[in-house]
Amino acid sequence: MSAAFKQPDRLLEHNQEVEKLWQAYRRGEPWRVPVIFNYGIRCRLLDPSLNTEGYTFQQYFEDPDVMLDAQLKHLYFKAFNLWRDESMGYPAKGWQVFIDFQNTFEAPWFGCPIRYHTDQVPDSMEIFRERKSLLYEMHIPEPLGAPMMQRAVEFYEYFKERCPDLEFMGRPVLPPRSLPGAGTDGPFTVAFKLRGATELCLDIYEDPKYVHDLLSFITEATIQRIRAVRQYLIDKKDVCSEEFETPGWGFADDAAEMLSPELYREFVLPYHKRLVDTFAGGGPVSVHMCGDASHIYPLLIEELGANSIDTGFPVDHGKLREELGPGIEILGGPSIMLLREGPEEAVKEEVKRILRSGVMTGKRFILREGNNVAPGTPLKHLRAMYATAKEHGLY
């Protein structure tokens, strides 16, 4: 690292502490609760004070130069402004960029048109809303040939070509090592995107066979896509095949939290099991669900072998720890709207309340926002959360 870009001493000390903390956490011996934040690109693009270029999400999705420039500036901003238990400052190896279509990838991969909104993240239009029978006329998309995947591959190849010749703030820019579609937002969530939330919920009662047909179609397509993406990365020699052979897998399915345990078991669990059986290799399973999916978490542990639960909000952290036991990793924390609106004192009190709830039992708790920091959240509120956890999250 050149002298012009020497790491500030306070960040060197921070990074050394963070490395030791995570090593201790992995051994089951952390001295305090780790703190992370999902402070995504929407926090930049939807905040005029940060997005001085005026980039839109449509430009970000359609122009690889915009995606690359916005990401690099966002990474730099986080590296020096967002205090949390991750390495900060100038990255030792370089800035790691990636192909990013947010949560608007899977439904468009199936053929749903993208909708761009002013002052909001993109979404997609449901292709089965008006004519559910279209499902039976469709074939599984060509894994790498569907238009949305073609765009992802084009961006990937463009990044790979440009990055080796790029420097940003004196550090190299590292090309992406994965593609969108290598994981999943969950079959039930994708079904919502294809059919519509109200329509799918009505189908559960009026046409359960259709729900299973739709979820079976989505799950098989997802498996084919993930396998194809993995093989593509291996063929490009960007990833060693051994990386995909390591036991363990993680996935999300936010919409499933709307179901009772009985309906989850009947309609969604078989497809979650199929995904886990296909990709986890008998290893640890992590699951993310937004909202309060506390009523489903025990099933995820019992039926899928999940050992890490990333919660949304609102959840009763103490009750959740009591129900799941000390050995299950739990990630969660204050509501994103509390973090956005504050004031700082309210943030501090909520962090202390959560930490005192009993969730720290077992030393398997990671404090984070619940869930996905909202644009416009003052950094001082996030700093207050971090400082409070460092003081009151001691074991």
Residue type (1 letter), 216: S
pLDDT given for residue 1 in this prediction: 45
Query: According to the per-residue pLDDT averaged within each range, which of 7-11, 115-119, 249-253 is highest?
Result: 249-253
pTM passes above 0.85: yes
Instruction: Give me the helices (H) in 28-63, please.
Output: 42-45, 57-62
Residues 6+ apart with CB under 8 A from 131: none
Mean pLDDT along residues 244-257:
92
Mean pLDDT along residues 161-180:
95
Long-range contact set of residues 275-281: C-beta below 8 Å, sequence gap at least 24: 275/184, 275/187, 275/219, 275/222, 275/223, 275/249, 275/251, 276/249, 276/251, 276/304, 276/305, 278/223, 279/226, 279/249, 280/247, 280/248, 280/249, 280/305, 281/245, 281/246, 281/247, 281/248, 281/249
Low-confidence winner among 1-15, 203-217, 298-312 (lowest mean pLDDT)? 1-15
Q: Which residues of 140-179 are buried (b: 16+ CB within 10 A; e: fewer)?
A: ebebbebebbebbbebbebbeeebeebebbebbbbbbbbb
Residue type (1 letter), 168: F
pLDDT tens for 86-118 read 999 999 999 999 999 999 999 999 999 999 998
pLDDT given for residue 5 in this prediction: 63
Beta strands 171-174 and 365-367, pairing class: unpaired
Mean pLDDT along residues 324-340:
97
Q: CA nearest 39: which of 84, 105, 7?
A: 84
CB atoms within 10 A of CB 65: 10
Mean pLDDT along residues 324-343:
97
Bridge partners, 239 (sequence order) = none
Mean pLDDT along residues 387-394:
98
| Percentage with pLDDT > 70 across the chain | 99
The answer to whether the CB of 239 falls within 8 A of the CB of 275 is no
**Three-point CA angle 276, 282, 284, nearest 5°:** 80
pLDDT given for residue 239 in this prediction: 78
Question: Which H, E and C letters describe 85-116, residue by residue?
Answer: CCCCCCCCCCEECCCCCCCCCHHHHCCCCEEC
Mean pLDDT along residues 288-301:
94
The answer to whether the CB of 250 falls within 8 A of the CB of 307 is no
> Sorting pLDDT into bands at 50, 70 and 90, what band is 220?
very high
**Higher pLDDT pick, 110 / 1:** 110
Mean pLDDT along residues 185-213:
97
> Sorting pLDDT into bands at 50, 70 and 90, what band is 33?
very high
Indicate whether 139 pLDDT > 80. Answer: yes
Beta strands 123-124 and 114-115, pairing class: antiparallel
Low-confidence winner among 35-44, 68-77, 245-254 (lowest mean pLDDT)? 245-254
pLDDT tens for 41-68 read 999 999 999 999 999 999 999 999 999 9
Question: What's the chain's average pLDDT?
Answer: 95
Indicate whether 6 pLDDT > 80. Answer: no
Residue 61 CA, chain-centre distance (Å), reads 18
